């Protein structure tokens, strides 16, 4: 998951760590040397060696500062890099009428799990590598001085690590449970904040906060369970640590009494014990957090495993396009087709009303035309006089789509327009507002710069729908799809928009209305009726499909 770029950053961090190891071993060596000079075991210049000690300390100090600065830097870089890549992957993932995960869960993975993994890559992994290096070097140093002491220390630490490992499998399982519960809490909060009015009116705040308390209580319980297992694992490690230090200390004391150990060697022993045991206990301490991170690796792998849409580039038809739906069968579940052997044609420049009762499959047809989903059988093609392209991601740029309900993004109205067409000029925007009967925007104190918050809060639904129509009209495609887009408007405004669209766009754009209102069907020149699965063209002929 790290990628080559991230691997390079980790390598640099390890390199800084190697300098740190060398400096800390040099420090042990100079301490031993100074004590031996002071006690007369070595004959050398004390001032030169003190100078050497100060120099080593300065190297250690600057290396530590550099290490933590670089670590902070790669933490942000790796986090941004991973989150950007995964966000793009999720955005490009196939959509089958509903998302595989709750949006709150996805955000939780993109935030918390990415942070956990970033910490693993930027901090834990280099630390483990550096610590292992430190362990090997300190062990070699100690082996050269007193091999027996090294074996005793290693044996004690191995027993301690193996004992504490018994808890690790359980810790991993609990970590996965915690991550899932945490995501549940986030999804719950996000959903209730999004539907706060529903929470205030229909559900009741007490019930919402009660459920929140319950979820947090469950999260607390699993956390406590994991904490208990972590503590047991830590007790084994601490016992091993204490036993190792005691052995080295007694070894040194007995050695001094028998004259086999100098004071300098004793100083080196005690420092090396720390440098052998410290890394082992540090690695053992890292193991639970690496295990916690593995739960995050699994959760992010689930995001990575989402199948993505092909990215073949946009195919924008130059002529006025039509749509040919040929013998299409599609169902959200196996063997339960919503649309079966369905055919119809949306002629270039035509204005078609797709009608029928709720649940008949109107939106499903539009999703198929937009290439958001793929038919099980049959084909959907977008064509002009020169070329034909299959419905799918690359044909999507041909559509000006107005989704159902309030689809405003937070930001100003101008920001929303620029999303549809980054090159739209002031006069393009004014024209679009006029065609969508949304001139009221220009009369607002801030006009196009009026800021609407999330989901267009601050605007009535009818106003938001009209702005959404204007936004779609700014897009470069030539097929305008309005999905129940005039449903929140009063009949006068609806009539205005329809007659404006008819007057300005008929014959210049291919227009599809999804509607259950007869008024909309009246202005159209063709009707696809999902009630009896027929397509009727006014003034021309009538055909059954
Ligand atoms: P309409 O737009 O005509 O109201 P839809 O196309 O939304 O109808 O739905 C057609 C049928 O497909 C309905 O029975 C609906 O329950 C079902 N359906 C719609 N979306 C999904 C989905 N994401 N998963 C499963 N079934 C769905």
pLDDT over threshold 50, residue 539: no
pLDDT: is 65 or 4 the higher one?
Answer: 65
C-alpha dist (Å) from residue 324 to 106, 387, 389: 36, 13, 10
Cβ-defined contacts of 533-537 (< 8 Å, 24+): 533/342, 535/344, 535/345
Q: What is the pLDDT of residue 255?
A: 85
Q: Whose CA is nearest to atom 7 of ligand 1?
A: 363
Q: How many helices (H) does the chain have, and how many strands (E)?
A: 17, 13
Residue-wise pLDDT tens digits, 341-376: 889 999 999 999 998 888 888 889 999 999 989 999
| Centroid of ligand 1 to alpha carbon of 230 (angstroms) | 48
Q: Ligand 1 test: best mutation among 338, 358, 362, 372, most atoms within 8 Å of CB? A: 338
Q: What is the pLDDT of residue 243?
A: 83
| Centroid of ligand 1 to alpha carbon of 374 (angstroms) | 15
DSSP H or E segment with residue 243: helix 205-258
Q: DSSP state, 344?
A: E
| Centroid of ligand 1 to alpha carbon of 97 (angstroms) | 8
| Centroid of ligand 1 to alpha carbon of 390 (angstroms) | 23
CA–CA dist 287, 282 (Å, integer): 9
Closest CA to 347 of 63, 200, 538: 538
Q: What is the pLDDT of residue 135?
A: 81
| Centroid of ligand 1 to alpha carbon of 265 (angstroms) | 80
Q: Where residue 458 falls among pLDDT bands split at 50, 70, 90?
A: low
| Centroid of ligand 1 to alpha carbon of 332 (angstroms) | 8
Percent pLDDT > 90 in the chain is 21
Q: What is the pLDDT of residue 95?
A: 77
Q: What is the pLDDT of residue 506?
A: 78
Q: What is the pLDDT of residue 454?
A: 57
Q: What is the pLDDT of residue 544?
A: 36
φ, ψ for residue 376 (rounded to 5)?
A: -70, -40
Residue-wise pLDDT tens digits, 165-190: 777 778 878 888 998 898 888 888 88
pLDDT over threshold 70, residue 533: no
Q: Ligand 1 test: best mutation among 97, 98, 405, most atoms within 8 Å of CB? A: 97
| Centroid of ligand 1 to alpha carbon of 382 (angstroms) | 23
**What global pTM score does this model have?**
0.74
Measured from the Cα of 367, ligand 1's closest atom is: 6
Measured from the Cα of 358, ligand 1's closest atom is: 4
Q: What is the pLDDT of residue 121?
A: 84
404-423: b (≥16 Cβ within 10 Å) or e: bebbbeeeebbebbbebbee
Closest CA to 456 of 464, 468, 467: 464
Measured from the Cα of 530, ligand 1's closest atom is: 3
- Ranges 226-230, 251-255, 437-441, 528-532: which has the least confidence: 528-532
pLDDT over threshold 80, residue 252: yes
Tokens representing 433 are 């507002």
Mean pLDDT on 54-77: 92
Q: Where residue 3 falls among pLDDT bands split at 50, 70, 90?
A: low
Ligand 1 residue neighbourhood (C-beta within 6 Å): 97-98, 332, 338, 356, 358-364
Extended strands (E) in 364-508: 377-383, 388-390, 399-402, 411-412, 451-452, 479-483
């Amino acid at each position: 998951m790290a990628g080559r770029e991230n691997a390079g950053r980790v390598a640099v961090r390890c390199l800084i760590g190697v300098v740190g190891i060398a400096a800390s071993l040099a420090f042990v060596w100079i301490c031993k040397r100074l004590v031996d000079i002071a006690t007369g075991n070595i004959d050398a210049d004390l001032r030169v060696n003190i100078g050497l000690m100060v120099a080593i300390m300065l190297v250690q100090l600057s290396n530590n500062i550099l290490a933590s600065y670089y670590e902070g830097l790669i933490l942000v870089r790796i986090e941004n890099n991973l989150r950007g890549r995964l966000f793009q992957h999720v955005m490009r993932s196939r959509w089958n009428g509903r998302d595989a995960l709750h949006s709150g869960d996805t955000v939780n993975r993109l935030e918390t799990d990415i942070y956990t993994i970033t910490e693993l890559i930027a901090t834990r992994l280099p630390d483990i590598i550096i610590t292992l290096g430190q362990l090997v070097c300190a062990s070699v140093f100690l082996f050269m001085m007193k091999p027996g002491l090294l074996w005793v220390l290693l044996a004690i630490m191995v027993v301690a690590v193996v004992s504490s490992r018994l808890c690790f499998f359980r810790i991993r399982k609990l970590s996965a449970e915690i991550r899932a519960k945490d995501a549940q809490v986030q999804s719950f909060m996000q959903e209730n904040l999004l539907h706060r009015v529903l929470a205030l009116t229909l559900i009741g705040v007490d019930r919402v906060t009660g459920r929140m308390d319950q979820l947090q209580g469950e999260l607390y319980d699993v956390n406590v369970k994991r904490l208990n297992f972590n503590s047991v694992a830590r007790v084994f490690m601490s016992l091993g640590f204490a036993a190792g230090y005691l052995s080295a200390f007694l070894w040194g004391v007995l050695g001094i009494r028998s004259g086999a150990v100098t004071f300098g060697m004793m100083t080196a022993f005690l420092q090396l014990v720390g440098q052998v045991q410290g890394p082992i206990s540090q690695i053992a301490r890292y193991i639970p957090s690496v295990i916690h991170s593995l739960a995050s690796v699994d959760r992010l792998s689930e995001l990575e495993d989402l199948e993505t849409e092909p990215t073949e580039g946009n195919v924008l038809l130059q002529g006025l396009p039509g749509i040919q739906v040929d013998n299409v069968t599609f169902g959200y579940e196996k063997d339960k087709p919503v649309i079966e052997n369905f055919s119809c044609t949306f002629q270039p420049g035509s204005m078609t009303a797709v009608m029928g009762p709720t649940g008949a499959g109107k939106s499903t047809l539009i999703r198929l035309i937009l290439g958001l989903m793929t038919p099980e059988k049959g084909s959907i093609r977008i064509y002009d006089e020169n070329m034909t392209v299959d419905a799918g991601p690359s044909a999507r740029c041909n559509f000006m789509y107005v989704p159902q309900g309030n689809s405003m993004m937070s930001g100003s109205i101008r920001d929303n327009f620029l999303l549809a067409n980054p090159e739209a000029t002031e006069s393009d925007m004014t024209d679009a507002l006029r065609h969508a009967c949304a001139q009221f925007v220009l009369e607002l104190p801030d006009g196009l710069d009026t800021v609407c918050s999330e989901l267009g809060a601050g605007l009535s639904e009818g106003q938001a729908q009209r702005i959404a129509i204007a936004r779609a009209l700014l897009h470069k495609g030539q097929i305008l799809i309005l999905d129940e887009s005039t449903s929140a408007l009063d009949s006068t405004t609806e009539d205005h928009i329809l007659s404006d669209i008819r007057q300005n766009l008929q014959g210049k754009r291919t227009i599809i209305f999804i509607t259950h209102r007869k008024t909309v069907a009246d202005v159209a020149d063709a009707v696809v009726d999902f009630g009896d699965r027929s397509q009727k063209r006014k003034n021309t002929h009538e055909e059954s499909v």
